[in-house]
Structure formats: C-alpha cells, structure tokens
Chain A
Amino acid sequence: MERTLQILKDAVENTHLPIGVYTGEELRIEVANPAMINTLGKGGDVIGRTYFEVVPEIEKQHIFHEALQAYRTGVPFHARDKRVDLIMDGEENTFYFNYSFIPLFDAKGKVYGVMNTGMDVTELHLAREQAQSASEQLRMAVESSGMGTYEIDLLTGNITTSGNFRSIWNIQGTVTNDAIISRLHPEDIPVREEAHRQAEHTGVISYQARIINEDQSVRWTSITGKILRDETGAAVKITGIIEDIGCRKALEQQLREEAQRSNEELRRSNEELLHFANLVSHDLKEPVRKIKTFISRLRDSVQDGFSEKQAFYLDKIDHTAQRMGNVIEGILAYSGADKKKRPVEAVGLNEVLEQVKGDLELAIEEKDAVLIIAELPEIEGSKALLQQLFYNLVHNALKFSRSEEPPRIIIAGEITEFEQRPWVRIRIQDNGIGIEKGFTERVFKAFERLHSKDQYEGSGLGLSLCRKITERHGGNITVSPNTPVGSVFTVMLPLKQAQSTI
C-alpha cells in the first residue's frame, strides 16, 4: 500500500499534466504538482492557500464557479479548448486549456474536494486559429474575385467545388465531369482536350473556354489547374480555379473594334486628304499658270521699259509662281501616286537615267555638275514611276549641293540576292550638304522639310514619293551619310515583279 502510494505520488509529481486537488468549500489547495504550480504561475508557495487566493483572476471568468459547482453537486466539469486569462509574473496572458474539475468522494460518498487537471493547448489552438483564418481569407478572396475552385479526385471521380464555381456553371446538385463537358461550347471541347494533353507534360492545365448558359448565351471562362501526383507519379487529383472572364473578353473585343474603327477612320481621312489635296492642286494649278502667263505678257509688252527694281520684283513674282507650281505638282504626284495601277514592263535603268539626265540637262549645266552612271541592269517595273524615282533622286542631289564645290553624282548598281530573289542595289552618291544622322528616316516623310525653303526649294514631297515608288515595286530606299561629305541613297529593287501591274 505504501509502495502504491509512493508510485502514485511519483506519477503525479512527474507528469506534464498539471494536477491539483482542492478540498473543502473554500477549495484549499492540498495537492499541486510542479506542472500545476507552473501553470498557476504564482510561484511554489501555493499549498495550503485557497484556490481563490492563488488565482483571483479566474473568478470573473466563472472558472472558480465551475470548480465550486463540481464540489457542490458532485458532477464533473469538463472544458475543452477554453480561453483562460492568467496573470503570470505580474502580466496577464491568454491561454487555452482543456481542463476539468472532478469531484472526489470520501468513503461515505460525500464530496471532500475536486481534482483539477488542465492541459495547456494554447499552441494547438493558435495553430488552428491561424489555419482557419488563412482558409477563411482564401475563401473570401476566391469569393470576392468571382472565381470558383474545384478539386477532382481522379480515383473516385468526385468533384468538390467552392466559391463561385456553381454560379459560373449554374449547376445545382452533384458536379460531374460529364455534366461540365456537356456545357462547353463545342468549339472549345478540343481546346480543353489539348490543354489536358499538354498538362500531362507540364503538370499545369490552362485554357479559355466558353460555357453555354441555359438561355444559350455564352460565358467566357479561364480555367487554370494543376495535376497532383502521388509518390509513384500517378495523377491522383486535379485542383484548379475557374474564372468568369466575360468582362475581360468583352473589353478585349471592344478594344479590338475600337482599334479597327480608328484604323478605318484613319485610312478614310487619309484618302480624303489625298483626294482633297488632289482637287485643290488642280484648282490651284490654273491660277498659277495664269500668273505665269500674265507675267510673260507683261514682259513682252514692256520690252525695255522696266527699271532694275521693277525687273527684280517681276523676277521675284515669276520665281514664286514657279515654286508654287512645283509644290502643286508635287502634291499632285504624291496624291495620285498610288491611285492608278501601272503595267509592269521591262525597264532598262540606264535608259531611264539617260532620260533623267536629259530632263535635268539645264540644271546640270548650270551647276557644272558631273554625273557618272555605271552599268545598270534591266528590271521589271513601271517605266514612268522609275523615271520619276531617279529624276527626284538626281534632282535632289543637284539641289542640295554645296556652293563651294560642283556637284558630283555617282550612280552604280550591283545584283544581289535577298530572300532567294535577285535584286539590284543602286547607290546614288553625292558630295552635297549631306544628311544628319537623326534625319535619315524623316527625309522620306511627306511634307518634311529639313531646310528653310529660301535655302533649298522643293515641295517636301520628292523623297516621300521616291519611297512610295520603291515600295510599289516591292523594294525600299534608305539614306546614309557619305564620307567625308554628301549622302548616299540606296535603292533596293527586285529584278522581277510577281504581278503584271503594280
């Protein structure tokens, strides 16, 4: 008996489960093992004092009452995961306990005290709380995002869902794979199959598909899932989210339509502008011609009568009218440049350049220019357009010459292959004022003029017309600075044309 008592005592002393025995109506502490003393947190000196004296803070939490109730009624009291605030080392702390007050009976069956056990489950409680709040947050996030989540158990075929999954699919009752597939837009079933096939390698399912609603309207959704595998690598689960992207799709569609519309508007206004330019140029051509005619009439009628000043002014008028005429011609050529299809013919480029040389004979002589033209091939294209192209280029080189040196223009070409087609690359090289690096693209833009018109005249359309012409032939034109002075224009033209008109 003594030995049994000793064993019991040892067990009580050494267990981590706090145990205390409180006797009498005043619940005087008769036994408190070290674990209990530790839990009460009021130091080792507790035996012989009342429970209330030691932990007065529990009164307002009704715990004292629970203990007394067990003592008075003989009915044990159990609490699970209950919050208890204890003052330890002068500070109030919150704990969670599984605790009991178990009445102890004497030989006569009368209650003489209560045994108090209290397992501290605070850590467990907090961990659970954290997990709960995390999953709650996730749930709220999923719900407020409008997404739905799903999990397919591949072994049982069971599907569990959450969030807006059911409202997106508008499904009540059990969700089955077949039910879902039957609701997909027929065109999107292969999309889903392909996504699942790819997921076998990537582990990730991602696709967009349309759901057909009951009223036959269509709902765009985005589905993203993941295949989960067991240790052997066998797929066991698919978990994923589905999102209603109708709004996004509608926005995309709207943006696309808006872009299309503004493109169309741009094209139309461009056409209208060209049409307008064409009309106005025609109307302006006549007055300009008349001005020139009347100037020549005036000159004829006052043969020797003009003073130097008058002659100077007359020259100015004449010159201005000429310039206006050039601008108008430029606009006409530019606005009419892509209107009419031209027949493709064999064009000898040397012939074209001879013609250009003849057309510019006066300017060449005036500027004392040297024009060197190497041997050039025959290509397919529009003779009239090519003539205009080289006229503009040579004219340009003559116009933008430096006053201190006569213009020297070298034109040479070579056959080259590009994209498995034969091309001719023609270089038009001059020793003129050149082009600054930053302007090599701008010179080809319509109405760009890099120099003040007093210095170098032009319509601002010549080079943009050149670009149009090369592009019509399927080629291109670029410019780079020449060294040490001048510029080099490089024209790339295919030798053959695919169409009979361009």
Chain B
Amino acid sequence: MPENENSKKIICLTDNDQDDRMLLHEALLSLEGSFEIIELSSAGQLLDHLEAKPLSIPDYIFLDLLMPGMDGFECLEKLRSGPLERRKTKVIIYSFQSGSESMQRAFDLGADFYAVKPARYSSLKDLSRLIIGSRWEDLGPGQRIFNAR
C-alpha cells in the first residue's frame, strides 16, 4: 500500500488525449476516497511537474504510451532511473495498444500495471477501482493487465 494511505492520494494522469484524461478523471472521482488528480498532457510536463514538486510524490502515475515528443516508454525509463522516492510510485501504462510486445516492453522497463483503454465507462470504473483498491502485494503478474475488450 502507498505510504500516505490515509491522506489524499496523488494521481498523475499523463495523456495527450484530453477526452481520455477527462473520462479517467471522472471515473476516479466516482470512487470513495479523496484524491488529488493532476492532469498532464505530455511526458515532458510530467517530468517537469515531478521536478517542481519534489515533496509531493504521486502514488499513481497513469502513463499513455503514444504521445508526441517523449513517448511513454522513454518516460517510464526516466522514472525508474530517477530519484529513489519516485520509484515507489505505481506506474500504470494506460494505452490503446493491446499488443503483447508493448506489454512485455512496459513490464521490462518497470511498469507496475498495464491497462488497455476500455471502451465502456463501466469498465473504466472497474479499472479505477482495481488500481486504487488493490493490495498491490497480492497482484500476481497475470493480474497486472487490464483489457476489457
């Protein structure tokens, strides 16, 4: 479980697609609990944000793969090789790509979870619940993939 269990959970949504950010944002807000949700439209913005607020380390980062500029993989690599505290953040790849190669690559680079963007809003809520509500220690490798299609 993330350290600041009882306080507000900090969630970064990194996606150049505004609609997807909005939908995920809504799905997360529909859950019980209090969150601080920060929307970022590029990997660069995310890294800048982390740099600017070194003390508020996010609990979760949702990271799209296909983004203009730095892509999700490169960003993931930077996160995992950055300051130690940052490495505790759960990184959830959030992409429409459902190929096994990109999944493998994401896990190889240190992703904690891989979610294929779902079509139904109900699935999006299921995903949000899974991410926020799970005991991560209990999730086996096979349970770290979400694909509702």
Residues of A participating in the B interface, judged by any CB pair closer than 8 Å: 285-286, 288-290, 292-293, 296-297, 300, 325
Closest to A321 in B: B119
**Contact call B23/A292, Cβ cutoff below 8 A:** no
**Contact call B122/A290, Cβ cutoff below 8 A:** no
A290 to B119, CA, bound (A): 7
- How far apart are B60's CB and chain A's nearest CB, in angstroms? 21
Can you list 8 residue pairs at the A/B interface with Cβ under 8 Å?
A286-B96, A289-B117, A289-B118, A293-B118, A293-B120, A296-B121, A300-B121, A300-B122
A296 to B117, CA, bound (A): 14
Closest to B117 in A: A289
- How far apart are A376's CB and chain B's nearest CB, in angstroms? 27
Question: In this assembly, does B124 line the interface, its C-beta being within 8 Å of a C-beta of chain A?
Answer: yes
- How far apart are B68's CB and chain A's nearest CB, in angstroms? 14
A292 to B120, CA, bound (A): 6
Residues of B participating in the A interface, judged by any CB pair closer than 8 Å: 17, 19, 23, 26, 96, 117-122, 124
**Contact call B23/A297, Cβ cutoff below 8 A:** yes
List 8 extra interface pairs beyond A290-B19, A292-B120, CB under 8 A.
A285-B96, A286-B17, A289-B96, A293-B19, A296-B119, A296-B120, A300-B121, A300-B122
- How far apart are A332's CB and chain B's nearest CB, in angstroms? 10
**Contact call B96/A293, Cβ cutoff below 8 A:** no
A289 to B17, CA, bound (A): 13
| A293 / chain B contacts, CB cutoff of 8 Å | 19, 23, 118-121, 124
A325 to B118, CA, bound (A): 13
A297 to B125, CA, bound (A): 11
| B19 / chain A contacts, CB cutoff of 8 Å | 290, 293
- How far apart are B27's CB and chain A's nearest CB, in angstroms? 10
| B120 / chain A contacts, CB cutoff of 8 Å | 292-293, 296
| A290 / chain B contacts, CB cutoff of 8 Å | 19
A288, A289, A296, A325: which contacts B122 (Cβ < 8 A)?
A: A296
- How far apart are A285's CB and chain B's nearest CB, in angstroms? 6
| A325 / chain B contacts, CB cutoff of 8 Å | 119
Closest to B100 in A: A384
| B124 / chain A contacts, CB cutoff of 8 Å | 293
Closest to A384 in B: B100
| B26 / chain A contacts, CB cutoff of 8 Å | 297
Q: Which of B17, B117, B119, B124 has the most CB of A within 10 A?
A: B119
- How far apart are B107's CB and chain A's nearest CB, in angstroms? 20
- How far apart are B25's CB and chain A's nearest CB, in angstroms? 12
**Contact call A289/B121, Cβ cutoff below 8 A:** no
- How far apart are B46's CB and chain A's nearest CB, in angstroms? 21
- How far apart are A126's CB and chain B's nearest CB, in angstroms? 92
The 7 A-B pairs with the shortest beta carbon distances in the complex, nearest first, are: A292-B119, A296-B121, A289-B119, A296-B120, A297-B121, A293-B121, A293-B119
- How far apart are A331's CB and chain B's nearest CB, in angstroms? 16
| A286 / chain B contacts, CB cutoff of 8 Å | 17, 96
Closest to B101 in A: A340
| A296 / chain B contacts, CB cutoff of 8 Å | 119-122
| B17 / chain A contacts, CB cutoff of 8 Å | 286
| B23 / chain A contacts, CB cutoff of 8 Å | 293, 297
| A297 / chain B contacts, CB cutoff of 8 Å | 23, 26, 121
| B118 / chain A contacts, CB cutoff of 8 Å | 289, 293
- How far apart are A320's CB and chain B's nearest CB, in angstroms? 14
| A289 / chain B contacts, CB cutoff of 8 Å | 96, 117-119
- How far apart are B96's CB and chain A's nearest CB, in angstroms? 6
Closest to A297 in B: B121
Closest to B119 in A: A292
